[in-house]
């Protein structure tokens, strides 16, 4: 049965802002307290989705959660009606208000880890939402993410939903941003590459000196076990602590893979040659094919330049004609060394034959490039038909979403605006309408809405 890789991109939420909450994310820290443009951010994301759909790449959308999360605020220690709650939180603990207002769910690569049915003995797609416990503002996304994924993949014959891993540092899980599946055809057995930053035991694991390592080895092992992946299907790799300190807080800032292509920086991992040899050997044994490993040297592009341009956060996608295209941030086109590197890559005879530079600048200013905005899910024809159809991007849905964003989103947002009761009302009305557009019925029962 034919299988497809579908990109599920998150729609940027109405409270997109620059609070600088993500320690270790260089762009997030650099642009802290800047004025954001939620409307532009959402339209850029939608334009990227439509561009990929026009290329023939299956594309779907994920709705954002409601922010600010006033239910969470009231559960901590604040009281009063919503207007008082927002105002007093901003006065007494502005960082908390920024955290519960974050639109960081836009980076769907962190939403979950997904294994396709062709890799699993029981032949169901396995889905594990990430606990994201390393950052408070991200950890609060998990309940809504779990609900959303269950609503979209709602057929128990085809989909198995795991709970998040325990909310403890031992099992810190950052989702697919630290997981890559390599394969021949999408519907053939694949090799799962799990990347972690630490082993949780500092005595046996070199750690970064400046920024935290977010993913643990134990979390990666647990995901592979619960998804029934066999040893011959998995590779576990530790990030280079120096890369983390350079701003590579997730693997997808230093590496990207698609089918039989793996592009990475030469300083991305510990014992890099050894683990790449293991990947190549296991991939060949599993698929009978060669794995194209493309290592970018420090001389070609430094780690700092990789973080600046997010070249490795490009999407590599397979087009209907079987060739691959690179969807790179516009910042790569304007950076001479990154642009030259991509041009050399296209001329090197690899399966990557074309590049498209797209602007997602509002997301980039917060440390998220094209690949951060999407969760990849491999589905066969039956699973595709069993998925909630209202989220698949069509020309009609695209234009409805553009109109919806234009009517509901603000052009500018400052941090003090998060305390504005009108913003909460605007966001609630926008999300209620979006649920109807996407075909989610009975909004009274949707946990992301304020009831």
Active site (annotated) includes residue 372: yes
pLDDT of residue 443: 52
Kindly state the tokens that stand for 253. 């800032």
Q: Which of 118, 264, 332, 372 is catalytic?
A: 372
Q: What is the pTM of this model?
A: 0.95
> Distance (Å, rounded) from C-alpha 238 to C-alpha 197?
6
Active site (annotated) includes residue 399: no
Q: Which residues contact 432 (CB under 8 A, 6 or more apart)?
A: 443, 449
Q: Which of 5, 44, 141, 174 is catalytic?
A: 174
With beta carbons less than 8 A apart as the criterion, state whether 364 and 27 touch.
yes
pLDDT of residue 26: 76
Q: Is 7 left (phi over 0), alpha (psi -120 to 50) or beta?
A: beta
* Cα–Cα distance list, 70 to 12, 75, 237, 424, 451 (Å): 19, 9, 39, 9, 11
Active site (annotated) includes residue 433: no
Kindly state the tokens that stand for 27. 């762009």
Instruction: State the CATH class of domain 3-67+102-445.
Output: alpha beta
Q: What is the pLDDT along the chain (451 residues), one digit of tens a residue?
A: 899 999 999 999 999 999 888 777 877 788 787 899 999 999 999 999 999 999 999 999 999 999 999 999 988 876 778 999 999 999 999 999 999 999 999 999 999 999 999 999 999 999 999 999 999 999 999 999 999 999 999 999 999 999 999 999 999 999 999 999 999 999 999 999 999 999 877 767 788 999 989 999 999 999 999 999 999 999 999 999 999 999 998 999 999 999 999 999 999 999 999 999 999 999 999 999 999 999 999 999 999 999 999 999 999 999 999 999 999 999 999 999 999 999 999 999 999 999 999 999 999 998 899 999 999 999 999 999 999 999 999 999 999 999 999 999 999 999 999 999 999 999 999 999 999 999 997 555 566 665 4
Q: Which residues contact 400 (CB under 8 A, 6 or more apart)?
A: 437
What phi, psi does 436 have (nearest 5°)? -70, -40
Q: Which of 250, 265, 335, 408 is catalytic?
A: 250
93-131: b (≥16 Cβ within 10 Å) or e = eeebbbbbbbbbbbbbbbbbbbbbbbbbeeebbbbbbbb
> Distance (Å, rounded) from C-alpha 93 to C-alpha 270?
40
Q: Is omega for the bond preceding 9 within 30 degrees of 0, making it cis? A: no
pLDDT of residue 369: 95
With beta carbons less than 8 A apart as the criterion, state whether 50 and 9 touch.
no
Q: Whose CA is closest to 67, among 27, 2, 21, 120? A: 21
pLDDT of residue 214: 93
């Amino acid at each position: 049965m034919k299988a497809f890789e579908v990109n599920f991109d998150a729609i940027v939420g109405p409270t997109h802002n620059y609070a600088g909450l993500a320690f270790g994310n260089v762009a997030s820290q650099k642009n802290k307290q800047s004025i954001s443009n939620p409307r532009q951010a959402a339209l850029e994301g939608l334009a990227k989705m439509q561009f990929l759909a026009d290329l023939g790449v299956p594309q779907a959308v994920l709705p954002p959660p409601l922010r600010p999360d006033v239910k969470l605020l009231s559960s901590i220690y604040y009281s009063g009606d919503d207007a008082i709650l927002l105002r007093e939180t901003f006065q007494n603990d502005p960082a908390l208000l920024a955290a519960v207002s974050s639109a960081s769910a836009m980076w769907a690569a962190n939403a979950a880890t997904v294994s396709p049915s062709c890799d699993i003995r029981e032949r169901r797609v396995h889905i594990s939402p990430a606990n994201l416990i390393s950052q408070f503002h991200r950890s609060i996304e998990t309940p809504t993410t779990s609900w959303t994924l269950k609503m979209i993949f709602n057929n128990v014959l085809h989909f198995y939903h795991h709970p998040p891993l325990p909310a403890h540092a031992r099992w810190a899980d950052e989702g697919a941003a630290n997981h890559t599946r390599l394969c021949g055809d999408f519907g053939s057995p694949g090799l799962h590459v799990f990347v972690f930053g630490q082993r949780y035991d500092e005595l046996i694991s070199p750690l970064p000196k400046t920024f935290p390592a977010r993913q643990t080895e134990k979390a990666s092992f647990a995901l592979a076990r619960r998804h029934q992946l066999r040893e011959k299907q998995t590779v576990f790799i530790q990030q280079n602590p120096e890369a983390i300190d350079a701003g590579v807080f997730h693997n997808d800032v230093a590496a990207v893979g698609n089918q039989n292509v793996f592009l990475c920086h030469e300083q991305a991992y510990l014992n890099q040659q050894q683990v790449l040899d293991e990947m190549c050997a296991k991939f060949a044994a599993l698929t009978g094919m060669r794995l194209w490993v493309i290592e970018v040297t420090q001389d070609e592009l430094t780690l700092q330049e990789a973080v600046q341009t997010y070249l490795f956060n490009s999407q590599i996608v397979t087009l209907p004609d079987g060739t691959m295209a690179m969807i790179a941030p516009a910042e790569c086109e304007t950076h001479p060394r990154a642009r030259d590197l991509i041009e050399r890559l296209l001329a090197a005879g690899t399966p990557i034959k074309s590049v498209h530079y797209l602007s997602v600048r509002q997301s980039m200013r917060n440390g998220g490039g094209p690949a951060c905005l999407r969760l990849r899910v491999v589905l066969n024809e039956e699973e595709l038909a069993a998925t909630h159809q209202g989220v698949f991007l069509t020309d009609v849905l695209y234009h409805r979403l553009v109109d919806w964003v234009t009517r509901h989103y603000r052009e500018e947002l400052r941090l003090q605006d998060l305390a504005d009761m009108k913003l909460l009302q605007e966001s609630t009305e926008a999300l209620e309408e979006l649920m109807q557009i996407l075909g989610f019925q009975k909004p009274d029962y949707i946990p992301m809405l304020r009831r």
